[in-house]
């Protein structure tokens, strides 16, 4: 058993973590019983909890131990909304563990990616800083 201070998400969470990092969203891993979930902290104060159903039951028959994803948004007021559910009993169960539909849903709630500065602007700023040093 992994100690609580050394929690690691399963590899199938990588696309979600990569999207959160690319969008500049902070996140943490939360655990309850034998289950871990990824919590994304949005700038509007809401929380997106992403989890899989990889604990026992029918999911134990799947090679990865999971059959789908769940995404729940919790507003600062405490109101919870289910955004996506592709687990065995979910609305999108036919999509299974494919992360692409989930990423599409999450992208609607995450802030836009940071704008990349124009390379010429970066060079001119660098030139100005270098000239100040001389």
Examine residue 76 and state whether it is found in any structural domain, yes or no.
yes
Examine residue 33 and state whether it is found in any structural domain, yes or no.
yes
Quote the Cα angle for 99-100-101, to 5°: 100
- If one counts the domains in the chain, the total is 1
* Domain assignment of residue 107, given as a range: 11-113
Examine residue 44 and state whether it is found in any structural domain, yes or no.
yes
pLDDT reported for residue 103:
94
Task: Indicate whether this model's pTM tops 0.85.
Answer: no
Examine residue 133 and state whether it is found in any structural domain, yes or no.
no
pLDDT reported for residue 64:
58
Examine residue 74 and state whether it is found in any structural domain, yes or no.
yes
Question: What distance in Å separates the CA atoms of residue 74 and residue 79, rounded to the nearest whole number?
Answer: 6
User: 16-30 pLDDT, tens per residue?
Assistant: 999 999 999 999 988
Phi-psi region of 63 (alpha: psi -120 to 50; beta: other; left: phi over 0): alpha
With CA atoms as reference, report the closest residue to 72 among 54, 51, 96, 45.
51
């Amino acid at each position: 058993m992994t100690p609580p201070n050394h929690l690691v998400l399963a590899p199938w969470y990588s696309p979600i973590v990569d999207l959160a990092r690319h969008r500049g969203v902070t996140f943490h891993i939360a655990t309850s019983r034998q289950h871990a979930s990824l919590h994304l902290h949005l700038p509007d104060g809401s929380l997106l909890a992403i989890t899989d159903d990889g604990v026992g039951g029918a999911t134990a028959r799947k090679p990865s131990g999971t059959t789908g994803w769940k995404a729940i948004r919790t507003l600062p007021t405490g109101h919870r909304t289910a955004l996506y559910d592709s687990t065995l009993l979910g609305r999108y169960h036919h999509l299974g563990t494919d992360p692409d539909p989930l990423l599409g849903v999450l992208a609607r709630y995450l802030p836009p990616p940071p704008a990349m500065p124009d390379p010429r602007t970066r060079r001119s700023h660098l030139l100005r800083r270098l000239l100040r040093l001389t």
